[in-house]
Amino acid sequence: ADVQTLVFRIDGNELRQLADRCVHKYCPHFYPQNVRQSTDTYKRWKWRNFLISFIHSNITGFGSLFCCIYQPSLLVEVIDSYLEAAYILTSISHGYFIYDLIEMLTHMTYKGSKELVVHHILIISCFSLTVTQHKYCGYSSIALLIELSNIFLHFRQLLLISNTPKTAKLYRINCYTNFGMFIVVRGVCLIWLWATLLWVLPRVPFVAKTIAFVSLIGICTMTYVLFIRVYKSDFGNTGQQTDVSITEQLVGAQTPPTTPEQTNGFTATAKDNAIHSKHS
């Protein structure tokens, strides 16, 4: 059984690095035209980073949904209920957040955010309990269901980076879907995470209990702030100016001053950097 686990276990860090290399070196056509023609390496890195995050959200979001449908006990018996597929998905996501944290620290000059660094550390701490102890698979699966909402949040960023107008039909469809998924999926999952945590509280060790409480408080706070800013950006009347303020306040990004390049498809430096959507 140990050998089988070793053979079939997927390391999320290596998976993300492989996807990163494929997109960067072997699949240049994945970049939109304005990014391909740009000499701004930050734009190319940002597109690649969000594309891989988008892929991660699809894999773990739909994967966790399948696991919960296949074994509904994951939603109730969050401590001892175990499914190999759920464990693998948690391992993938664990490696993803480690790698993304490294990338975030590496590019801190451009999109440095203490909030996001803390967020990633909290997520890594929670998933580490499942990866190392083979427990809490149900709790991790519920948390990964939130990635279903992040699919549309990441896709929103890809549209903004590719200079898709906010009046475009594709953007508006994603906008309303993102808003609905944010409320239904993210809201319900966070409520259920709180409910299950309080239900099993006497059976949870002190360290795990502390990590869970601190993580949930932090994630709920970030979710509320993110929701308000997404709403103001896509449904408010502040227009493109709101996008810039969202970046500066939520992400703490410090995009290097550059001159708008009409020849490579960019008309602004911060316009398409509206919201960093790593919150999960």
Record the tokens describing residue 101, joined without a space: 């944290």
Q: What is the pLDDT of residues 223-242, one digit of tens each?
A: 888 889 888 888 875 444 44
Alpha-carbon distance of 246 to 45, in angstroms, equals 20
pLDDT at 169: 93
Record the tokens describing residue 72, joined without a space: 């509904």
Q: Is the pLDDT of residue 18 over 70?
A: no
Question: How many other C-beta atoms lie within 10 A of the C-beta of residue 221?
Answer: 12
The residue with tokens 């709790």 is: 139
Mean pLDDT value across residues 71-89: 93
Query: In the structure, what pLDDT confidence band is assigned to residue 3 with cuts at 50, 70 and 90?
Result: very low
The residue with tokens 């000499």 is: 39
pLDDT at 45: 81
Query: In the structure, what pLDDT confidence band is assigned to residue 113 with cuts at 50, 70 and 90?
Result: low
Query: In the structure, what pLDDT confidence band is assigned to residue 26 with cuts at 50, 70 and 90?
Result: low
Q: What is the pLDDT of residues 161-172, one digit of tens each?
A: 888 888 899 999
Query: In the structure, what pLDDT confidence band is assigned to residue 34 with cuts at 50, 70 and 90?
Result: confident
As a whole-number percent, the residues of the chain with pLDDT over 90 amount to: 41
Q: Is the pLDDT of residue 205 over 70?
A: yes
Q: What is the pLDDT of residues 254-277, one digit of tens each?
A: 344 444 443 343 333 343 444 444
Query: Does this model's pTM top 0.85?
Result: no
pLDDT at 85: 94
Alpha-carbon distance of 88 to 8, in angstroms, equals 8
Query: In the structure, what pLDDT confidence band is assigned to residue 56 with cuts at 50, 70 and 90?
Result: very high
Q: Do 47 and 161 touch, CB atoms closer than 8 A?
A: yes
Record the tokens describing residue 16, joined without a space: 């993300």
Q: In terms of residues, how long is the chain?
A: 280
Higher pLDDT, 10 or 106: 106
pLDDT at 105: 82
Q: Do 154 and 181 touch, CB atoms closer than 8 A?
A: no
What value does the mean pLDDT of the chain take?
Answer: 78
Domain locations along the chain: 47-235
- Among 184-198, 199-213, 253-267, the minimum mean pLDDT is found in 253-267
Q: Is the pLDDT of residue 138 over 70?
A: yes
Higher pLDDT, 40 or 128: 128
Distance of CA 73 to the CA centre of its chain: 25
